Structure 1
Amino acid sequence: MFGLFGKKIDTARSEALRNALGSLVDPHAGETLADAHFIERAEVVGDEAQIDVVLDYPAAGFEAELTELLERTALQIEGIKSAKTTIAFVSPLGSSQNGKPLPGVRNIIAVASGKGGVGKSTTSVNLALALAAEGATVGLLDADIYGPSQPLMLGAKETPVVDEQRAMQPVMAHGLQTMSIGYLIDDAQAMVWRGPMVTSALMQLLNDTRWHDLDYLIVDMPPGTGDIQLTLAQKVPVAGSVIVTTPQDIALIDARKAITMFEKVNVPVLGVIENMSVHVCSNCGHVEPIFGSGGGEKLASENHIDLLGQLPLDLAIRTDVDEGWPTVVRDSESVNALIYRQTARKLAAALGRHLRQDHFDGPNISIDEDGGDADG
């Protein structure tokens, strides 16, 4: 076998390289690179290791660390003196596996909570921006018809442009494609609508927006388990959901209800994000778990899902969104921004892992005693 420029591939060392790289564990996916099928190519040509890795989650903030790990591992193999690595990201097609896909959107992820006041909208906008910072093309849909908050959090006030097909162009904000009922009504206008009108408005916002080649569409859900949640789960190809909670018991009770709701409508719950995990004093930096501790971890463990991240109760996070500059874009190198980016990588990796396992597991076929086929 020959590699680029006609140089012969060292078969034995290439196999050793694949085995060594394949045993490495991806910290976001929680699987080895071999099990996750991330290694596209691992060959030794002459004394050089040539490595191509394709991730199914965006990882711009992890690329340098992963490259260093891959190349250090390669150089430990006898006879390899140099290594050349390329890392790429290709988002999975999660929403095409759950009903008719939404044009222009590869994966729809619902961000939900069982109750209000846990910071779900703040988490949604920062997650969307974090995924974009990691290298994905991202949209954000504000599904809270009664209390839209994303226009304020994004500092966006323009009215969507309607094209000749009467479709709305998404409002661009900090690099995100966004849509909200808040762009179409006055700030002081109350939406005094019954359930069917609300769900109809949501479907219009979702389907009448010209989303453009999105890897992920983050849907900021209203709190609770009512009409909008059921409509989204039953009529929209949601690839997965994430539950936002605080550590306190009253929030965890409602978060469990949200998990149960998604399970009943067959929407995968990808994990839990614990918000307001600890309070950080803006004057002295003292850290205190004023809402308790361990709640998010316990909730995730009980439901056999991932604890994707823990965000602090920090004054800066609140003031950033109030001023239309969420933390991930206002202070991109801050500790909080980096936590959001780590959480976003783990969320996207959890989606990729779920889709891989769902694809590779498939139905079990068994033969009954009568000689007929049966799904096991």
Structure 2
Amino acid sequence: MIIAVSGGKGGVGKSTLSLNLGYELDAVIVDADLATADLPAGAGRGPNLHDVLAGRAEPMAAVETVGPIRLLPCGRTLEGARASKLVELTRVVERLERQCGRVVIDCPAGLAQDVGVELYSADVAVLVTMPNRVALHDAYRTRRLALDVETPIGSVVLNQCRSTDAEDLVGQVEAKMGAPVTVIERRADIAAAQAAGRPLRTESPTSPMLEGFDSITWAIERCERHLSGGIGVL
């Protein structure tokens, strides 16, 4: 199964969710932000997504084990981004899926062509947003783009949300997005784990926010079962 983590607005926590979801699902994480890669790479000496999309490396040859996660990192040069053939992305993630089982695509911010291709390449999308007007509007626009390329929404994550805000917002967001909403509160342990480039479960195994990541994982696994049975998610 291929999962695209998107949301439109930058800084809402897409990469944090991608790292944790990849760990929880035992998936390969693809840092698909061709211009401003964000996920932690390993030694940085091997091939990366720029090389794969330019035809200079095979997908599995670029997958690194970084601590407890498997990652296909993205290059960090303008030349590499320019040489990348975006049209190859679907083939690349499908090959990873055949060899690894599950793939999580960490999408860049915005609604440019690259995001459309990444959403198209996925079986299901997870939208990450925050409890403010701009972020929610961008997430809804991303939802429309995903549905335009026939990729259903499996889960919506309301990130960095105070518990006092969550009760009023969850129902509204679920009604508008047409997908289950999980609230992740702003917490120092999540920020510390992300700064270390590691999943929350390995850094803070007793964190109460792990329940939120469990909820998102269950929603994706439910989508996976429905898709394998030929039943629509939405």
How far apart are the structure 2 equivalents of 1:271 and 1:213?
25
The equivalent residue for 2:218 is 345
- TM-score of the superposed pair, with normalisation by structure 1: 0.52
How far apart are the structure 2 equivalents of 1:192 and 1:160?
14
Q: Residues 209-255 of structure 1, C-alpha deviation per residue, up to 9 Å, x if partnerless?
A: 86673231000000121111222344x3x211111111212211111
Are the aligned partners of 2:8 and 2:110 in contact in 1 as well (CA < 8 Å)? yes
How far apart are the structure 1 equivalents of 2:203 and 2:231?
38
Q: Give the 3 Å change call, closer, same or farther, for CA 353–202 of structure 1 in structure 2.
A: same
1:326-365 residue pairs with structure 2 within 5 A? 326-356=199-229, 358=231
The equivalent residue for 1:130 is 24
How far apart are the structure 1 equivalents of 2:229 and 2:79?
41
Q: Give the 3 Å change call, closer, same or farther, for CA 293–157 of structure 1 in structure 2.
A: farther
**Paired amino acid for 2:107:** M
- TM-score of the superposed pair, with normalisation by structure 2: 0.81
The equivalent residue for 2:152 is 268
Are the aligned partners of 2:34 and 2:81 in contact in 1 as well (CA < 8 Å)? no
Larger Rg: 1
How far apart are the structure 2 equivalents of 1:273 and 1:218?
15
Equivalent position to 2:139, from 229, 241, 255: 255
Q: Residues 282-304 of structure 1, C-alpha deviation per residue, up to 9 Å, x if partnerless?
A: xxxxx654xx7643442222232
Are the aligned partners of 1:129 and 1:329 in contact in 2 as well (CA < 8 Å)? no
Question: Structure 1 unaligned runs (5+)?
Answer: 1-106, 133-137, 279-286, 360-376
Could you say which structure has the higher strand fraction?
A: 1
Are the aligned partners of 1:139 and 1:214 in contact in 2 as well (CA < 8 Å)? yes
The equivalent residue for 1:246 is 130
How far apart are the structure 2 equivalents of 1:342 and 1:170?
27
Are the aligned partners of 1:273 and 1:296 in contact in 2 as well (CA < 8 Å)? no
Task: State the 1:171 CA deviation.
Answer: 0.3
**Paired amino acid for 2:140:** R
The equivalent residue for 1:145 is 34
* C-alpha RMSD of matched pairs (Å): 3.1
Are the aligned partners of 2:154 and 2:219 in contact in 1 as well (CA < 8 Å)? no
How far apart are the structure 2 equivalents of 1:205 and 1:142?
15
Q: Give the 3 Å change call, closer, same or farther, for CA 205–147 of structure 1 in structure 2.
A: farther
Q: Give the 3 Å change call, closer, same or farther, for CA 230–342 of structure 1 in structure 2.
A: closer
Q: Give the 3 Å change call, closer, same or farther, for CA 204–239 of structure 1 in structure 2.
A: closer
Task: State the 1:270 CA deviation.
Answer: 1.1
The equivalent residue for 1:363 is none
Task: State the 1:191 CA deviation.
Answer: 5.9
The equivalent residue for 1:298 is 172
Are the aligned partners of 1:139 and 1:218 in contact in 2 as well (CA < 8 Å)? yes
1:42-121 residue pairs with structure 2 within 5 A? 107-121=1-15
Q: Give the 3 Å change call, closer, same or farther, for CA 357–295 of structure 1 in structure 2.
A: farther
Q: Give the 3 Å change call, closer, same or farther, for CA 255–242 of structure 1 in structure 2.
A: same
Q: Percent of counterpart pairs with the same letter? A: 19
Question: Structure 2 unaligned runs (5+)?
Answer: 49-55
**Paired amino acid for 1:176:** I
Are the aligned partners of 2:2 and 2:93 in contact in 1 as well (CA < 8 Å)? no
The equivalent residue for 1:89 is none
Are the aligned partners of 1:199 and 1:228 in contact in 2 as well (CA < 8 Å)? no
How far apart are the structure 2 equivalents of 1:191 and 1:245?
31
How far apart are the structure 1 equivalents of 2:124 and 2:103?
11
Task: State the 1:344 CA deviation.
Answer: 1.1
Are the aligned partners of 1:170 and 1:209 in contact in 2 as well (CA < 8 Å)? no
How far apart are the structure 2 equivalents of 1:212 and 1:356?
18
Task: State the 1:328 CA deviation.
Answer: 2.1
The equivalent residue for 2:51 is none
SS of alignment partner, residue 25 of structure 2: helix
**Paired amino acid for 1:218:** V
Q: Give the 3 Å change call, closer, same or farther, for CA 131–263 of structure 1 in structure 2.
A: same
1:104-253 residue pairs with structure 2 within 5 A? 107-132=1-26, 138-151=27-40, 156-160=42-46, 166-167=57-58, 168-182=61-75, 185=76, 189-190=77-78, 197-200=83-86, 203=89, 206=92, 213-234=99-120, 236=121, 238-253=122-137
Q: Give the 3 Å change call, closer, same or farther, for CA 112–297 of structure 1 in structure 2.
A: farther
SS of alignment partner, residue 150 of structure 1: coil
Higher relative contact order (CA 8 A, sep 6+): 2
